[in-house]
Amino acid sequence: MYSELLGITSKRFIEIPILNSRKDRKLSIYQLNKLPIFHKELTFLFNRSIHQNIFFSPHFLESITSPVAGYKSYFAILHDKDNHQYNHLRFMMPFLLGYPNTSSCLPIIKALSNSFSHLGTPIIDSEEPISIVRDFLNGLMNQDIIDLPSVLVIPNVRLNSYSTQLIKAVSIRYGFPIEVTSNYSRPILQNQKKSHNYFTQSVSSKILEEIDYQWQILLEEKDKVSYTIARKPQDISYFLEEFLKLEDLNNQNENKNLLINHDNPNIIRKIVKNLSHIDSVRIHSLNINNKSIASIIVFVIGNEASIWKSTYDKSYAQYSPTRILLGQLTCWNLVDPNITFSDSCSIASDPTLQQLWTEKEPLGSIVIGLRQKNNQQVRQVAAQMHLYNNTKTTSQLIREKILKDFAKKPQKINEQNLKNPSDYL
């Protein structure tokens, strides 16, 4: 057990001196549930970081310390000594210790990225970022204090971002083996054109006509149809409950089996509530008689918006409410002067979004070796991750086709109607 190896209990933490660096700089590792202790310092670091990853903000992470704590979860902070106290934070990364979801027998350090967190970019101080990344890697490499795994994985990072290019450059400059694996792309929206110009130049006129037609049909056949954007905490509380009602309704209509994974509504409430306190939540809703039939939760930090979750009432499927709502959301993000970049995150595979957001952002996972001459281990972990992600993608496609097949015509499972798995490929 790495928790025993680290020796981190509820009353302890690990402090690692940095080799070949300033004497007052240390790397400390804590259990993730201790993160609220550093709320003020982490907020200061987050606000001055080179990239404000909303999923690593203290308000977000403090909401998920409980559900993640059972999985050997920690966070590392690089800090400088100031008046005999370690309160000047330079770097922060939540991570998991253990073995990857592959056949590899090599343990890894993996930055926290899951169904709640769609971006793994660590928080790096904008002052002297090169030395900060170098000292972080050197701290993990120091075996005199603790024997950490020899491979670091930072998943789901934007490959063209400054943060990723910085980590790659520092790793190469100081001799850390590095590989990039599990490459994929997500639709993005960049606010560089006026709304009208964007739709006429980037989106098919046929798609726009279909969305407009569905919107007009909904207005004609239903009373009190409205599109709302909740931003104030009291409005967010109301429309969040509407969102959760739709989620619960969809869960009740689906077959409860191992192929379906349902999110905990209490965790969703806590995350949205915490982020609403810093004005970082927008809930876009399509409503009939003040009741939501489609809803999308968006996180906003700085000039960046990230689609976190979406749902809709399947009884209104003939009106394509999600399609209408995505069209409205796209218009709003284009005209909002405070948003210049929108990331699709959780709904990257939605066909309508792919039609509306035509630009793509390349993402992938960075695998870094923390020992000298462990290139082979780095390549092994990278290859296993690539194979696992390909297998996972195929499994998801099979799952979707199976669920779609049984949703069309409910039937009992027996030897006569079981299909060969190859039929779904």
Q: Which residue has the higher pLDDT, 70 or 321?
A: 321
Model confidence at 102: pLDDT above 60: no
DSSP classification of residue 410: -
CA 312 distance to own-chain centroid = 21
Measured CA to CA, the distance from residue 399 to residue 254 in angstroms comes to 13
Taking residues 344-352, what's their average pLDDT? Answer: 86
> What would the pLDDT profile of 49-66 be if each residue is shown by its tens digit?
999 999 999 999 998 876
Cα 406 to Cα 301, 390, 401, 410, 419, distances in angstroms: 41, 25, 9, 5, 12
Smallest Cα–Cα separation from 381: which of 105, 121, 169? 105
Model confidence at 332: pLDDT above 60: yes
Model confidence at 319: pLDDT above 60: yes
Measured CA to CA, the distance from residue 369 to residue 149 in angstroms comes to 9
Taking residues 372-399, what's their average pLDDT? Answer: 82
Measured CA to CA, the distance from residue 295 to residue 283 in angstroms comes to 7
- Predicted local confidence at residue 2, as pLDDT: 53
Measured CA to CA, the distance from residue 78 to residue 88 in angstroms comes to 9
Model confidence at 41: pLDDT above 60: yes
Smallest Cα–Cα separation from 274: which of 312, 310, 229, 240? 240
Smallest Cα–Cα separation from 41: which of 84, 95, 83, 91? 91
Model confidence at 339: pLDDT above 90: yes
- Other CB atoms closer than 10 Å to residue 346's CB: what's the count? 18
DSSP classification of residue 188: E
Residue 267 · residue 261 · CB < 8 Å? no
CA 281 distance to own-chain centroid = 15
105: helix, coil or strand? coil
Smallest Cα–Cα separation from 359: which of 163, 114, 121, 193? 193
* Structural tokens at position 26: 């240390």
Model confidence at 301: pLDDT above 70: yes
DSSP states along 274-309: HHHTTT-EEEEEEEETTEEEEEEEEEEETTEEEEEE
- Predicted local confidence at residue 365, as pLDDT: 95
Measured CA to CA, the distance from residue 183 to residue 319 in angstroms comes to 35
Q: What percent of the chain has pLDDT over 70?
A: 84
Name the percent of the chain in helix, strand, coil, to the closest 5. Answer: 45, 25, 30
- Predicted local confidence at residue 348, as pLDDT: 80
CA 385 distance to own-chain centroid = 18
Measured CA to CA, the distance from residue 129 to residue 386 in angstroms comes to 29
The helix (run of H) or strand (run of E) holding residue 153 is strand 151-158
Measured CA to CA, the distance from residue 224 to residue 53 in angstroms comes to 38
Q: Where are the domains of the chain?
A: 2-183+363-398, 193-339
**Range name among 139-143, 176-180, 284-288 with the lowest pLDDT average:** 139-143
Taking residues 29-33, what's their average pLDDT? Answer: 90
Q: Which residue has the higher pLDDT, 411 or 74?
A: 74
Taking residues 242-265, what's their average pLDDT? Answer: 68
DSSP classification of residue 33: G
Measured CA to CA, the distance from residue 198 to residue 200 in angstroms comes to 6
Taking residues 154-164, what's their average pLDDT? Answer: 96
Residue 353 · residue 187 · CB < 8 Å? yes
Domains 2-183+363-398 and 193-339 share a fold: yes
Phi, psi (deg, nearest 5) at residue 5: -65, -45
C-alpha radius of gyration, the chain, whole number: 23
Model confidence at 86: pLDDT above 60: no
Model confidence at 119: pLDDT above 90: yes
Query: Beta partners for 97?
Result: 109
Angle of helix 321-335 versus helix 195-202 axis, rounded to 10: 130
* Structural tokens at position 181: 């694996």
Model confidence at 377: pLDDT above 80: yes
**Range name among 276-280, 301-305, 336-340, 397-401 with the lowest pLDDT average:** 397-401
Q: What dotted CATH number matches 2-183+363-398?
A: 3.40.630.30
> What would the pLDDT profile of 160-191 be if each residue is shown by its tens digit?
999 999 999 999 999 999 999 999 999 999 98
Q: Which residue has the higher pLDDT, 97 or 146?
A: 97
- Predicted local confidence at residue 84, as pLDDT: 57
357: helix, coil or strand? coil
Task: Assign domain 193-339 one CATH number from 3.90.1640.30, 3.40.630.30, 3.40.50.300, 3.30.565.60.
Answer: 3.40.630.30
Residue with tokens 């990857």: 100
